Amino acid sequence: MSTSSAAAGLDALPGAVTTVPVALGSRSYDIHIGEGLIGRTGDLIKPLLRRPRTAIVTDENVARHHLEPLRDSLAGAGIASDTIVLAPGEATKSFADLARLCDWLLGTGIERGDCIVALGGGVIGDLAGFAAAVVLRGIGFVQIPTTLLAQVDSSVGGKTGINSSLGKNLIGAFHQPLCVIADTAALATLAPRELAAGYAEVAKYGLIGDAAFFAWLEDNAARLFAGDREALTYAINVSCQAKARVVAADETEAGARALLNLGHTFGHALEAAAGFGEKLLHGEAVAVGMAMAFRFSERTDVCRAGAAAEVSGHLASVGLPAVPRDLAFDLPGPEQMLALMRKDKKARDGRLTLILARDIGEAFIAPDVADSHVLDFLREELRR
C-alpha cells in the first residue's frame, strides 16, 4: 500500500492517509483516503481555494451524520461555507434540482475561481459536479464521497451529469474535481445494502485486470464488511489506482475506459427493467451483470471453465445477487432484455459491444457480438 503525506496540510495531521494521484496534465488531482478525513477537510482544501469560502452540496441522509464535522473543519481552517441540503435519491439528479442548485449557488455570490464541495454519494457528486461544470462556465469542485460506490467509482474520473426522462446519465459533462477526499469512517453510517452494492464495483476492478486483488478480496471481504479500517483503505486504494490508471489513459472514454463497463450492459438492462429504483440498486445490477458476462464468456468458449462459478460464488458470499432468477421483480423476456441492452449509451451503430473475460483479471472488449448468441444465452438466464 503506498502511503504519502506529500499533499499540503497532511504532514501536520495524525493518522495514516493514502494518496492516489490522478495524472491528467493540468487537470491532475489527488484522491486522499483515510479514516476521519472529513474532519480534516479544511486543511486539505485550503490550498485549493482562491478565497476562504465555499458552498457545500449534500443530501438529508448524509447531512444528518457528516455535515457538522465538515462545517467545523472548514470553520477551523478559517473557511466560510454556505450549505444546501437536497432530498436523497436518484430523482434528485434532475433538471429541476440542477436549476435550483445553480440558482442557489449564484445566490450565494459564488464567483469564477471559487470551488464547491460535494458531500454525499454518487447522486450528489454527479449533480454538484455538473453544476460546477456549467455555473459561470465552470467553477472548481471537491468530491467528498460518502458511499463505497462513490469512493471507488463515481467520484473519480470526472463524469458528471443528471438523468433525462429518456434515460439515466444522458445529460452531462466531463469536469474533473480539484481533489477527492474519501473518509473510510463515513461508511460506518451507510446501509449494509448500499455497502454491498458499492462492493460490486470494488470486485469489478479485480475481475477486469487484477486477479491477485480478486484473490485478496476473497480472503478479506469479511473484514471489509465488518468495517476494518485497514482492509477498507487498502480496497479503496487499489480500486482508485485502477480507475485512475484507466482514466489517465482514456479520459473521455474513447477506448480502454470501456473495460470499466464490465457487467454494465447486462446490468443496465436489468436496472431499466426494474425501474431504476429500490428494487435493484446499481451495484446489485452490476454484480448480476458481471456474473452474466463471465457465464457468457464461458459459454462462447473464450473463458477458462470454472471462472464464472468462482465469480458468482464470491458475489453470493457477500450477499450480492449473481443470477437473474434471484431478483425479486418481473424479469424481462430475452428479446426485451436485448432491446434494453441496445439502448445502453455505450452501444454504437446499434451493435452490441460487450466486456467479456478470458479469466478472472483478464477482461477484454468484444465489439460486434452476434445477437443470436446473446439471445440464446438470455433465454437460459432469464428462465425462472
Ligand X SMILES: NC(=O)c1ccc[n+]([C@@H]2O[C@H](COP(=O)([O-])OP(=O)(O)OC[C@H]3O[C@@H](n4cnc5c(N)ncnc54)[C@H](O)[C@@H]3O)[C@@H](O)[C@H]2O)c1
- The residues binding ligand X (CB under 6 A) are 59, 61-62, 65, 88-90, 93, 120-124, 126, 146-147, 149-150, 153-154, 157, 159, 168-169, 186, 189-190, 194, 282
Is 264 catalytic? The answer is yes
Burial environment of residue 368 by CB neighbours within 10 A (0 to 12, 13 to 18, 19 or more): exposed
Q: Which is nearer to ligand X, 243 or 295 (CB)?
A: 243
Least Cβ distance, residue 62 to ligand X (angstroms): 5
Least Cβ distance, residue 370 to ligand X (angstroms): 29
Least Cβ distance, residue 197 to ligand X (angstroms): 6
Is 282 catalytic? The answer is yes
Least Cβ distance, residue 155 to ligand X (angstroms): 8
Is 163 catalytic? The answer is no
Q: Catalytic one among 40, 53, 71, 268?
A: 268
Q: Catalytic one among 46, 168, 229, 257?
A: 257
Is 243 catalytic? The answer is yes
Q: Catalytic one among 71, 261, 298, 314?
A: 261
Is 346 catalytic? The answer is no
Q: Which is nearer to ligand X, 251 or 298 (CB)?
A: 251
Is 380 catalytic? The answer is no
Q: Catalytic one among 66, 71, 264, 295?
A: 264
Is 251 catalytic? The answer is no
Is 253 catalytic? The answer is yes
Q: Catalytic one among 32, 40, 53, 282?
A: 282
Q: Catalytic one among 253, 279, 299, 310?
A: 253
Q: Which is nearer to ligand X, 120 or 361 (CB)?
A: 120
How far apart (Å, rounded) are the C-alpha atoms in residues 328 and 309?
22
Least Cβ distance, residue 244 to ligand X (angstroms): 13
Least Cβ distance, residue 252 to ligand X (angstroms): 12
Q: Catalytic one among 35, 194, 201, 284?
A: 201
Render the burial of 76-103: b for 16+ CB within 10 Å, e for the rest: ebebebbbbbbebebebbbeebbeebbe
Q: Which is nearer to ligand X, 285 or 308 (CB)?
A: 285
Is 295 catalytic? The answer is no
Is 27 catalytic? The answer is no
Q: Which is nearer to ligand X, 179 or 303 (CB)?
A: 179
Distance separating the N- and C-terminal Cα atoms of the chain? 44
Least Cβ distance, residue 127 to ligand X (angstroms): 9
Q: Which is nearer to ligand X, 193 or 304 (CB)?
A: 193
Label each residue of 151-213 as H, E or C. HHHHCCCCEEEEEECCEEEEEEEECCCCEEEEEHHHHHHCCHHHHHHHHHHHHHHHHHHCHHH
Q: Which is nearer to ligand X, 54 or 154 (CB)?
A: 154
Residue whose Cβ sits closest to ligand X? 122
Catalytic positions are 137, 159, 201, 243, 253, 257, 261, 264, 268, 282
